[in-house]
Amino acid sequence: MQEDDGREPDYRFTLANERTFLAWIRTALAVLAGAILLHQFGGVVQPHWPLLALSVAMTVAGLVFCCGAYFQWKANQQAMRHSRPLPRSTLIPLAAGVTLLVAVVAGLFVLFR
């Protein structure tokens, strides 16, 4: 299926789809910044391995958010071009899960420190 197949959607929907894509990219960048922060400044906390594992998990999540944002944008654009319902996003539950993971690990460090 070509990217130009179907009919051109209303430009407002296309722009809204692009804004949503950019919001997910900002989320990916924020998660990556948090991962870098944990890696850089988490070395003073012992044991170091939980923060390192969380940093790696957040880096992977940032990568998934970035790739998922593109594929969600493309799927939405194709659905709009062919007058189909918009596909569900798997990024939302993933974002909630990553946030929960970070909150639990941070809470455990505060509680047992």
Q: What is the pLDDT of residues 34-64, one digit of tens each?
A: 999 988 887 777 777 888 888 999 999 999 9
Query: How many residues are listed for the chain in this entry?
Result: 113
Around Cβ 113, how many Cβ atoms within 10 Å? 7
List pLDDT tens digits, range 57-110.
Answer: 999 999 999 999 999 999 999 999 999 999 999 899 999 998 998 889 888 877
What is the pTM (predicted TM-score) of this model?
0.81
What residue ranges do the domains of the chain occupy? 11-111
Q: What is the DSSP string of 46-107?
A: SS-HHHHHHHHHHHHHHHHHHHHHHHHHHHHHHHHHTT-PPPPPSHHHHHHHHHHHHHHHHH
